[in-house]
Structure 1
Amino acid sequence: MSIFKPSMLTLAMMAAGVTSANVYAADNASNDKEQEKEVEVIEVKGFRASLVKAINTKRFSPEVVESVSAEDIGKLPDSSIAESIARLPGLAAQRLDGRASRVTIRGFGEDHVGTTFNGREQVSITDNRGAELDLYPSEIMSAVTVYKTPSADLEASGLAGVIDLQTIKPLSLDERIVKVNAMYEQTSFDKLNPDADDNGFRGTLSYIDQFADNTLGVAVAFNTMSSPNQEKRWNSWGYPEFTGEDGQTYSVLGGAKPFVRSSTLERDSVMAVIEYAPSEKLRMVFDTLYVDFVDEKILRGIEIPFAWGQGSISADTAVVDPATGFVTSAITEGQRVVVRNDYEDRSAEMTSFGFNLEYDLNDSWSLEFDASHSSVEREIWSMESYAGTGRGDSRGVADNLGYTFNSGNAGATFTHGLDYSDYNLIQIGGPLSWGWSSALNEKYGVVGTEYENQLQDGFLNTPEVDDELNALRLAASKVVESDYISSVEFGLSYSEREKTKRSEGYFLTVSSFSLDNPGMMMVPEEYRLGTANLDFIGMGDMIAFDSRAMVADGYFDLLAESLTNPSHATKSWTVKEQLTSAFVKANIDAEIAGMPLTGNAGLRYVQTKQESQGNAFNTQDGKVITSPTHIEHDYSHVLPSLNLSLSIDDEQSVRFGAAKTISRARMDEMNASVNATYNQQPDENGSNWSVNGGNPTLEPYQAINFDLTYENYFSPEGYFSIALYHKDLQDWIFDGSYYIDMTGVADPATGEIPANPDGTGSGKVNGGDGTVQGAEFSVTLPFNYFSDVLDGFGVIASHTVNSSDMVDQDGNDYEIPGLSKSIQNLTFYYENYGFQARASMRKRDDFKGDVYGRGFDSQQVDILGETIWDAQIGYDFSESGLASLEGMTVTFQVQNITEEPFVSLSGDNALQVRDYQDYGRTFLLGVNYQF
């Protein structure tokens, strides 16, 4: 058996954050009575204790993992889960509205990363599977473990890995803990909107206790947060190309939509854990998490048309970049703009609970039962309101507008002639002819008049998502008397998931409109809020009013866009999945040439039945005609996995992993909503149906993975490792054609069910392949390794490189979403005598990422690399010698110290900026008190 295997005493000491320079020698001494060594125990607390726990989680896990561990509940070192784990080797985060939200593992985005809560797969508030981790409050989590290699018993799946969020187990402690956290938050920008907040508050109350002779444990935590975020954003419509008189190709700004955004994230969370262990054989745990999440946004700006507007661009004012043919400066004359006062509320309620029972039948056999539920309801209310100098394209005062692109991908600065803060000049109504809806024209009787297609004075998007997942699991394990296998585990699991999206939008028209009163509406005095400043783009002040209250008070009439726009039928769907799984896993404990070999080998079988419901639709006389669809598909996978760890000595080990993994297709691509046409003549495939939209028969992405890692734990607080990995990707999803069975679907044009149900679909299909390979270099270096004088100082660093040779069906190079060629993480820290200080950097290269597009569709864009610096200082008064302050800790954080912007491009030309988002800095002052 393993001569370097840690004893139960050692593991208990490590779990408690107690380390020893001779801890492994102590283990050897327990196995060899001839050795007697005194163990020097050194206790570390706070951030250093979290590091020790994280290191030991990594060291003694059979799989390749990374971990963020809290000293106890409420002590994660960052303000969000995403920020904390984004500092781990091989991981990176994408910011969304200024907050780290979506996490990639080894270059694969959130669609290829499984997320679990206490080992149970979770639903998401997005249209797809990827979890937005800022939904989960870090203050009520005790640890996060990232599995880079799988084992057969892991429930969630992902090509890249699984992120497991963990709550505390109250019986793991031996004392009552009552803790209060309070934090004040301030943005560096003054209020960008007059009705916004630039400061907020976070608070957590947690209670942990044990009863009945430590057989019953209870942990409860309540967290509330009101977190402000502000942004100066430059956004383009796009960059059309044209051919000049000289035959050269040029590109010019089509239009821009810059604005200032002020948002407040309100989040209330309740976590509870009840643990009961009436005997050594029986243990039961019930845990639950409830999150109420509301993100309110205020957005004000001016949409400025150029090449796609009504004005004329003066050629003699144009300045062209000779290297790219890009027009970097120009003036458009006779242009009308759209002044925007918008509001958005994104709300979600998430409920998760689980029950786990473990029972030891005897010294050899143990049983486990687990039941869980996870659900989320998400609603978005996103309103646009338009204002200008006159209704339609040719009424009202026009402006002469110029732009000049700035350096550093910061977009353009504009010049103008009108005063956009004048409430007499700028009034509510559609200044451009948007909203070409026959239903809208008919409602107001403007067909054939000069006001046809000029009645959209705003727009309201109201998409909703419901996601529910229920799961059961039965498992057993048996101790095996063998020189090679220590135990065998096996089990069955079953889960059902149903996700529904309902899409709808509404045209807004001022209620005062009629052919007798067709003009604009002046903003009523009671809704005026003053002005919002747009100096950052050169547009000065603009009118600011409460358009949300005006909608609530009936100043706008609403008309459903789905009457004439088929896109809402495409984006409304239900996807259901039923998964039946079986697994077997052998835990390895052997020796090779006197060196311990541990790990596991396993096999997981997954049978999947998926079905999708949606709409087949077409249009007649400008109106949308739909017919319901219901399509089913099933398949299965066999997923082997192997994890081996060879201990060279009590400090060094080599790991090897091999596994087959899957990531299920995006749910919005699996939907059964299609634009359908029944043709009288069949195509070359014999299909009369021609459809485009979702593909309910999509199967998972697949990968064959190999991992090789060297790890050296040279200190109880330090280690370094080198990891190599290779992923052979199969069944990647690209655009293509596929067969679709339209049995039972009526022809939208006739309402009758055709004789031939065969269809040819155009959309997403499986079939692409390629490889991803990379290397990770990581080190945690405490400076007391060199000298006791430097005790408390240390550095944590990692460097990851990735490469891919994926190509699409046409043989073109394909960039995997989320993959950056290199990622670096760096943290300097000091913690001693109660003082705490950290400075952290996370850096990644360019990558493709998902952002919200029109109608809240997921849209993939090119995102530039970024380097983000954060810092924190604090003091733990338990080290001060002041009894009255014992238990209190104060911290001060600055996030995004260098004000790193978020930048995305519209194409290969670096001058063609899609988004330049400046979030400023965030300051946080916190107090933590433990009774």
Structure 2
Amino acid sequence: MLLFKPSLLTLALVAAGASMSAYAADEVDTANTADENIEVIKVTGIRRSLQEAQAVKMTNSSVVEAVSAEDIGKLPDVSIAESLARLPGVAAQRLDGRANVVSIRGLSPDFTIATLNGREQASINDNRGVEFDQYPSELLNSVVVYKTPDAALMAQAIGGTVDMQTISPLKHGEQTFAINARGEWNDLGSLNAGSDDKGYRASVSYIDQFADDTIGIALGYSRMQSPNQEERWQAWGYPNLDYNDANPLVLGGAKPYVRSSELERDGVMVVLEFQPNDQFRSVVDVFYTSFFDQQRLTGIEIPGQWGAGWANSGITAIETENGLVTKGTINDAMVLVRNDMNTRDADSISAGWNNEYIFNENWSIEADVAISKVERTDIGIETYAGTGRGNGNGQVENLGFTYDGKGGYIFEPSLNYADPELIRLGGAFSWGPDAERANFQDGFINKPEIEDELQSFRLSSTYSFDEGAISKIQFGINYTNREKTKVDNGYYLTLKGYDAVTNPDYMLTLPSQYSTGSTSLAFFGMGDVLSYDALRFYKDGNYNELNAKEVQPERITNSWQVEEQVTTFFVKADLDTEVGDIPLTGNFGVQVVDTDQSSKGTAVSKLDDGTIELTPRTAGDSYVEWLPSINLGFEVAENQMVRVAAARTLSRGRMDQMNSNINYTYNPNPSGADPKWTGGGGNPQLRPWLARQYDISYENYFSDMGYFSVAAYYKDLENYTFNQDQFVDFCTILPSDPNCGDGLGRVSSPQNGNGGYVQGIEASLSIDFGYFTEVLDGFGTILNGAYNDSEVKETDDSEPTTLPGLSEKTFNATVYYENSGFQARISSRYRSDFLGEVTAISLTRVNVDVKAETVVDAQIGYDFSESGIDALYGLSVVFQVNNLTNEPFTTYLGDDERLVRDYQNYGRNFMFGANYKF
């Protein structure tokens, strides 16, 4: 049965493989018809990418969204995450000015899984979520977002599955060589002395077929050196003035700075395809990226109300507005100048080998083996300088401040913080690991390391029926083994000239060879400050180091190893029949998921004498979950589809919460009802999030140039993860401790608690106005929006929990024009307030409230292939502006949006480039 009666254009796109194999391969007659006529169809650029994406959505049995490349090496956006964020129900969070991770249908990146060519990917972060800027968009042909799963989709999640796909050289069907190059610059300029505000992107792709089109090859290489600048206001917090609830809130302290980054990324893509006949097909694909991000940060720490008594003598309020001190003076203020450097060095490789063999008209078999591996090393160094060592020493000033109306403050200094004779290296505040070493800390360096390896093997068979309501049955087994390890290294830094007894006031005048000049902090009034190459200064051996693990037990328990072995048995039946006169297609099936998880960690206790006691600990769990699913599509009218879907889905717990580490204390004489054993840590028995989800959608494909769809969903969360107390037998943790049987102990750890629901509605509209009249040929628009709502409670009597990643409203709009080689487009994406995950002290991650934002991008270009100039055939040029309206990224504390935690101004990024294909 032929669904939708697709047009010649849609058939051509499907047959050519442009729709990423989402169209059923068994529609042989349809594909052959398209092959016979494909030479008369010419669709390029924006409209081609939209039509290919529409073909995927139209022909898939699940509820999906798709993004397709405009041409070889040309996805619609410079970032995969930005392209995804333009889809209905999908929202991106920016990191350092670029879209980095996505939330689907109001659920955080923890509930989203990413695959490459259908295979789950290892990730460079501490959890499972894939950071999409790791994958060069130039090397990807398309991306499909599965909002409803089916039983044959091995990597599924409650939010959705994002499948990135490389090109098939045999389906591409012609020899192609493409080169893309773009220059890039940021309009904030070089904020840090010694940084660069210019960069470039370049890629080259080669696709060819050999041996009578039985062997295909696709090769791609991309290189990016992208600058990024940022002016950041960051607050410590907002306590009450004089710590009295009757007094207004006041600035507790601030850490504003300017950041200059340079991201270097190299990517390599190789696809080898062999299909000697209609029965056998073999594909090997390799995707490699090398990712190096270096950030130089220059700023200043200004203790406010929280610094009273040790960094200043208090705050005098001059003006107050609606309970917030908006103008005042920090009396006898002492501040700390910071020069920091962050680097991230990550390598990832994904490789797979897929084989398909068709025995006869009914039977076929498929085998797939793959590996995905990531290695990451971070460095986060902070170094200090000031007018004197330790609290109360050095030159001070009365520092005025005024609220700027955007969430930050403007300061009025009288000292010259760029003077190397006044501002010298050393700890301006009495910071250190303990009271005995209060003036010990002149800096700190974090060096976490991550390794993540995921191996998979899949074997499946398909039986096609000659007739009947069930068109085919697919069944098989999928096995994955994943091991992720984190080693968290951190060191206190002390200048080598310092000695607490013989040289307690030691400060170092900056050696000239490390100076980078002065850096302006004028955006919040502080003027120029001393700046230098902190990482080089450290690497040259100017600091003594103290391993933080020797004094901080939590450092030890930040290191862990988690391993998962997952075996999935699945069966799926495809439907192709009629209910009355209504064509019905779809599928139903079930997965049986057998999981064995374990973790290696450490039980840690700091004894009264200051020594740290370590006990290795290994723990885990095993379980089986049944995941049924059904997807039904009713063609209620020509090219109009109603889809209904239901499934039980799971998202595995955060790997950084599944560790077996525990910090504990033993008190033989506890007070009250407290147990003798108390502690906190991870939970190696943590089970996945589970949900029963229900979907219904209506899709109207009124032309090849456009469609309208509306969808509603409801996700009944069976559980959610909360940090809760649990009573455990400490003999299972410390079997050799003579006191382990001394009553049950209380341990605080992530637990599977009560559930709740997430629900929402989405609508999207894509129109090429040439559908209505030739006068508007080339003009078009894409509009979509979503509304999300949730209620999750820890207990029946508690207040609803705010779910990370959930924006109540999202909206995207794109207006484009494409005709006679000329192309122009402007796009905006809106996301309402949400709870986001950001970096905190020691490179840890915390959830904070993120303010609503609207990000606007624009581009114009021209394709000389339509100019009539033969010498320029295949050449096109493009000019892009990202963040056209310079939208800031803002996080805040509490319910008052004036209490800004971070205000990040990224500026605009401009790109101009050329593409050549032949």
Q: What is the TM-score normalised by the length of structure 2?
A: 0.95
- Structure 1 residues 101 and 188: CA distance shift in structure 2, 3 A: same
1:911 deviates by 1.4
Q: Distance in 2 between matches of 1:861 and 1:552?
A: 34
Is the contact between residue 127 and residue 668 of structure 1 (CA under 8 Å) also seen in structure 2? yes
1:753 deviates by 8.2
1:566 deviates by 1.4
1:681 deviates by 8.2
1:443 — aligned with what? none
What is the aligned counterpart of 1:657 among 637, 645, 662?
A: 645
1:799 deviates by 1.1
Is the contact between residue 306 and residue 313 of structure 1 (CA under 8 Å) also seen in structure 2? no
1:573-612 Cα offsets, whole Å, 9 max, x none, are: 1111110100000001011121210010010110111111
What is the aligned counterpart of 1:338 among 301, 326, 336?
A: 336
The DSSP-based 3-state class of the residue aligned with 2:305 is coil
Is the contact between residue 631 and residue 741 of structure 1 (CA under 8 Å) also seen in structure 2? no
1:437 deviates by 3.4
Query: Structure 2 matches for 1:430-509, cutoff 5 A?
Result: 430-437=427-434, 452-509=437-494
The DSSP-based 3-state class of the residue aligned with 1:131 is coil
1:763 deviates by 1.8
Q: Distance in 1 between matches of 2:321 and 2:763?
A: 41
1:24 — aligned with what? none
1:238 — aligned with what? 237
- Structure 1 residues 432 and 44: CA distance shift in structure 2, 3 A: same
Q: Which moves more between the two structures, 593-602 or 914-923?
A: 593-602
Query: 1:929 aligned to 2:884?
Result: no
What is the aligned counterpart of 2:709 among 697, 705, 721?
A: 721
Query: Structure 2 matches for 1:336-415, cutoff 5 A?
Result: 336-409=334-407, 411-415=408-412
- Which amino acid letter does the alignment assign opposite residue 798 of structure 1? N
Q: Distance in 2 between matches of 1:213 and 1:847?
A: 55
Q: Distance in 1 between matches of 2:628 and 2:864?
A: 51
What is the aligned counterpart of 1:416 among 413, 418, 430?
A: 413
Query: 1:266 aligned to 2:264?
Result: yes
Is the contact between residue 3 and residue 635 of structure 2 (CA under 8 Å) also seen in structure 1? no
1:482 deviates by 3.6
The DSSP-based 3-state class of the residue aligned with 1:659 is strand
Q: Distance in 2 between matches of 1:129 and 1:592?
A: 42
1:546 deviates by 1.4
Query: Structure 2 matches for 1:290-329, cutoff 5 A?
Result: 290-309=288-307, 310-311=310-311, 317-322=317-322, 325-329=323-327
1:762-811 Cα offsets, whole Å, 9 max, x none, are: 12111221111111110001101110121111000001111112223351
- Which amino acid letter does the alignment assign opposite residue 477 of structure 2? L
What is the alpha-carbon root mean square deviation over aligned residues?
A: 2.5
Query: 1:901 aligned to 2:900?
Result: no
1:819-858 Cα offsets, whole Å, 9 max, x none, are: 1111000000111111111000000100001001111111
- Which amino acid letter does the alignment assign opposite residue 463 of structure 2? K
Q: Which moves more between the two structures, 818-827 or 555-564?
A: 555-564
Identity of aligned residues (%): 46
The DSSP-based 3-state class of the residue aligned with 1:778 is strand
Q: What is the TM-score normalised by the length of structure 1?
A: 0.93
1:17 deviates by 9.3
Is the contact between residue 260 and residue 300 of structure 1 (CA under 8 Å) also seen in structure 2? yes
What is the aligned counterpart of 1:694 among 682, 696, 715?
A: 682
1:398 deviates by 1.1
Q: Distance in 1 between matches of 2:161 and 2:30?
A: 36
Q: Distance in 2 between matches of 1:140 and 1:315?
A: 56
2:119 — aligned with what? 120
1:801 — aligned with what? 787
What is the aligned counterpart of 1:628 among 616, 619, 624?
A: 616
Q: Distance in 1 between matches of 2:385 and 2:261?
A: 22
Q: Distance in 1 between matches of 2:390 and 2:640?
A: 73
1:442 — aligned with what? none
The DSSP-based 3-state class of the residue aligned with 1:251 is coil
The DSSP-based 3-state class of the residue aligned with 1:250 is coil
Q: Distance in 2 between matches of 1:201 and 1:860?
A: 33
Q: Distance in 2 between matches of 1:97 and 1:40?
A: 45
- Structure 1 residues 510 and 799: CA distance shift in structure 2, 3 A: same
1:276 — aligned with what? 274
Q: Distance in 2 between matches of 1:703 and 1:430?
A: 51
Is the contact between residue 17 and residue 49 of structure 1 (CA under 8 Å) also seen in structure 2? no
Query: 1:192 aligned to 2:191?
Result: yes
1:638-682 Cα offsets, whole Å, 9 max, x none, are: 001111111122221111111111111111111111112345589
Is the contact between residue 315 and residue 331 of structure 2 (CA under 8 Å) also seen in structure 1? no
Q: Distance in 2 between matches of 1:683 and 1:359?
A: 70
Q: Distance in 2 between matches of 1:570 and 1:746?
A: 16
Is the contact between residue 753 and residue 794 of structure 2 (CA under 8 Å) also seen in structure 1? no
The DSSP-based 3-state class of the residue aligned with 1:43 is coil
Is the contact between residue 872 and residue 891 of structure 1 (CA under 8 Å) also seen in structure 2? yes
1:252-305 Cα offsets, whole Å, 9 max, x none, are: 211000000000000011110000011110000000111110110000011000
Is the contact between residue 243 and residue 250 of structure 1 (CA under 8 Å) also seen in structure 2? no
Q: Distance in 2 between matches of 1:645 and 1:225?
A: 43
1:888 — aligned with what? 875
1:23 — aligned with what? none
The DSSP-based 3-state class of the residue aligned with 1:75 is coil
1:204 — aligned with what? 203
- Structure 1 residues 287 and 315: CA distance shift in structure 2, 3 A: closer
1:441 — aligned with what? none
Query: 1:730 aligned to 2:718?
Result: yes
1:580 — aligned with what? 567
The DSSP-based 3-state class of the residue aligned with 1:172 is helix
Query: 1:595 aligned to 2:592?
Result: no
1:159 — aligned with what? 158
Is the contact between residue 18 and residue 41 of structure 1 (CA under 8 Å) also seen in structure 2? no
- Which amino acid letter does the alignment assign opposite residue 67 of structure 1? A
Q: How many residues align?
A: 901
2:756 — aligned with what? 770
Unaligned runs of 5+ in 1: 20-26, 439-446
Unaligned runs of 5+ in 2: 20-26
Is the contact between residue 186 and residue 923 of structure 1 (CA under 8 Å) also seen in structure 2? yes
Q: Distance in 2 between matches of 1:368 and 1:766?
A: 37
Q: Distance in 1 between matches of 2:522 and 2:818?
A: 43
Q: Distance in 2 between matches of 1:684 and 1:355?
A: 62
The DSSP-based 3-state class of the residue aligned with 1:509 is strand
Q: Distance in 2 between matches of 1:273 and 1:682?
A: 64
What is the aligned counterpart of 1:709 among 697, 701, 705?
A: 697
Q: Distance in 1 between matches of 2:30 and 2:559?
A: 64
Q: Distance in 2 between matches of 1:622 and 1:253?
A: 36
The DSSP-based 3-state class of the residue aligned with 1:459 is strand
1:615 deviates by 1.1
Is the contact between residue 487 and residue 586 of structure 1 (CA under 8 Å) also seen in structure 2? yes
The DSSP-based 3-state class of the residue aligned with 1:911 is coil
2:829 — aligned with what? 842
1:516 deviates by 3.5
1:401-448 Cα offsets, whole Å, 9 max, x none, are: 122112133x1111112110111000000010011337xxxxxxxx5x
Q: Distance in 1 between matches of 2:387 and 2:568?
A: 63
The DSSP-based 3-state class of the residue aligned with 2:155 is coil
Q: Distance in 2 between matches of 1:3 and 1:864?
A: 44
2:595 — aligned with what? 608
Is the contact between residue 307 and residue 313 of structure 1 (CA under 8 Å) also seen in structure 2? no
2:770 — aligned with what? 784
1:101-147 Cα offsets, whole Å, 9 max, x none, are: 01011111111001000000001111101111011110000000000
The DSSP-based 3-state class of the residue aligned with 2:428 is coil
Q: Distance in 1 between matches of 2:867 and 2:18?
A: 21
Q: Which moves more between the two structures, 120-129 or 647-656?
A: 647-656
Q: Distance in 1 between matches of 2:431 and 2:766?
A: 57
Q: Distance in 2 between matches of 1:742 and 1:482?
A: 62
1:223 deviates by 0.6
Is the contact between residue 772 and residue 804 of structure 1 (CA under 8 Å) also seen in structure 2? yes
- Structure 1 residues 391 and 686: CA distance shift in structure 2, 3 A: closer
The DSSP-based 3-state class of the residue aligned with 2:545 is strand
1:428 — aligned with what? 425
2:22 — aligned with what? none
